[in-house]
Structure 1
Amino acid sequence: MTEAASPPTSGTHRWVSLMVRDLTTAQRFYGELFGWEFDAGPTQLGPYVRALRDGHPVAGIGESAAGAQQVVAWLPYIATRDVDATAGRIRECGGTVAVGPIEVEQVGRLAIASDVNGAAFGLWQGGPRRSAPFYGPTGTPEWNELITADTSVVSKFYSVVLGYEAAPEPAQPEELDYLTLRLDGRPVASIRGVGAAALPQDRGPHWITYFSVPDVDEGLKAVERLGGRVLGEPEVSPFGRWAKVADPEGGNFAIVRPPGR
């Protein structure tokens, strides 16, 4: 899961993880959709596998305890040099720390928190949780985006807690409530304000992960063939052609073909 290396820069998105009710079904769906292979990961929090693409770890999938009542959702893990201090800032800024900080099999420390509007995310202190670049071939995470009612308050939360500069994205239409989160001028994630009425009732504010595919239309066909659902027609943005989908247990994510690929 980790190699000996210097800790990543605080605020970078280092990992995405999914908790499901049926790990075997999830492995079959994502394995066929993205060409992932799997190996065993840390079992401290229950059954867990790492997804590999071309031998590189790109994501993790765990199985929830029997009877656990939770929404199936992809969770981004954000790097921090001091998870305890970051957890403290989260509480001070009106967020919640639900799990940890805890040690994970002597390779790092993690916490699971939620922002001031209730969207869950993870924190990771330790070495890189994947050896591949964030941008890569089919099935690698390209981007994380926060879907929330509006960007005004929550952008200040992430700026204080993780040091982001939140600014409008010039490539997006001015009428959209859309901000890009940057570190030292480099974009690392985004926040999309959709209005309270547009938030899904089963999950409210939430992060969504975009995974790369070579062809969005073929990807949508594969999602349905494998038991998932298409949640909207493909859209074109400055960041590529994309569409929102769900896995067989309802876990939302997006598939995207970035420009130039």
Structure 2
Amino acid sequence: MPAVKVRLAQGTPCWVSLMTGDLQGAQAFYGALFDWEYSPGPAQLGAYVRASLGGAKVAGLGISPGGTGLPVEWTTYLAVDSADEVSQRIRECGGTLAVGPLQAERAGRLAIAADLSGAVFGIWQGEEHLGWEVVGEPGAPAWAELVTADEAGAASFYRAVLGRPGAGGGEDPQGPPAAGIRRSTELRGRPPRWRVCFAVADTDLTARRAEGLGGRVLVEPYESAQGRAARLADPQGGHFSVVGPSRSN
């Protein structure tokens, strides 16, 4: 599997990380589910490993930093040219910073923030580590989207913060939308959130395997516009989605 190493345009999803209280348990679960292998990563926020698929980096797993109040959940990172400048714009636009900006050794510079509605996201200024190196293949990220009750307000925030329309669900002059913003009335009291979706070869098989590994199926496999999808949770409570080929194909 050839690794793709390119600097992504500002506002484009470029990395996903899970912060959890049980790093060893998370490594075992995702390693068995997605065939991931692990190597050490920057440890500014505590123990942290990078997951690789066939030698290509796809995601990070780390110990939750104390005192941040962040849930056990996957965090989507958006590429930025300057973490410090974008962090300042997040504050100016009414968002909040939970972590950073800080330097992650020579890999890059990061911050973890929340938008106006409370949806948590990260920003990543890649240096030696530009982000994920393969997408859309089984075991790799496939898509990231913000699920919110205020689609227009979220789009305005991310456009103002990132300075490009692609991250707000619109068309970028240089290419297709960078990420999705989807209006949902099914949040049921939970705050809006960025969701990460991993590609799989067989959605139904992956859902059953996740249960066998101690995870949960939150939404049973169903046909979507992107393919056959499901919502899952790992044994520590981290939510994620998977998508594979439609059964009609």
TM-score normalised to structure 2 length: 0.89
1:155–1:166 contact (8 Å) kept in structure 2: no
Identical aligned residues as a percent: 47
Alignment-derived partner of residue 228 in structure 2 = 241
Amino acid of the residue matched to residue 152 of structure 1?
A
Aligned pair partner of 1:194 in 181, 184, 187: 184
- CA drift at 1:54: 0.2
Alignment-derived partner of residue 170 in structure 1 = none
Alpha carbons of structure 1 residues 70 and 115: separation in structure 2 relative to 1, 3 Å: closer
Q: Distance in 2 between matches of 1:163 and 1:182?
A: 13
Alignment-derived partner of residue 91 in structure 1 = 91
Provide, for residues 159-200 of structure 1, a one-character-per-residue CA deviation record: whole Å limited to 9, x for no partner: 111234369xxxxxxxxxxx83443241221111112xx215
- CA drift at 1:131: 5.8
- 5 Å matches for 1:148-159? 148-159=148-159
**Alignment pair present for 1:129 and 2:130:** yes
Moved over 6 A (4+): none
1:148–1:193 contact (8 Å) kept in structure 2: yes
1:19–1:62 contact (8 Å) kept in structure 2: yes
Q: Secondary structure at the match of 1:214?
A: coil
Q: Distance in 1 between matches of 2:115 and 2:66?
A: 27
Q: Secondary structure at the match of 2:236?
A: coil
Alpha carbons of structure 1 residues 61 and 253: separation in structure 2 relative to 1, 3 Å: same
Q: Distance in 1 between matches of 2:38 and 2:75?
A: 18
1:16–1:75 contact (8 Å) kept in structure 2: yes
- CA drift at 1:6: 7.1
Provide, for residues 15-71 of structure 1, a one-character-per-residue CA deviation record: whole Å limited to 9, x for no partner: 000001111100010000000011111111100010010011100000125787541
> What is the count of residue pairs matched by the alignment?
243
2:20–2:26 contact (8 Å) kept in structure 1: yes
Q: Distance in 2 between matches of 1:248 and 1:227?
A: 5
**Alignment pair present for 1:183 and 2:172:** yes
1:212–1:258 contact (8 Å) kept in structure 2: no
Provide, for residues 110-135 of structure 1, a one-character-per-residue CA deviation record: whole Å limited to 9, x for no partner: 11111111101011112343462333
- 5 Å matches for 1:98-113? 98-113=98-113
- CA drift at 1:237: 2.1
Q: Distance in 2 between matches of 1:66 and 1:98?
A: 11
Alpha carbons of structure 1 residues 232 and 7: separation in structure 2 relative to 1, 3 Å: closer
Show structure 1 runs of 5+ residues with no match. Answer: 168-178
- 5 Å matches for 1:3-152? 7-65=7-65, 69-127=69-127, 128-130=129-131, 132-135=133-136, 137-152=137-152
Alpha carbons of structure 1 residues 61 and 160: separation in structure 2 relative to 1, 3 Å: same
Alpha carbons of structure 1 residues 155 and 130: separation in structure 2 relative to 1, 3 Å: closer
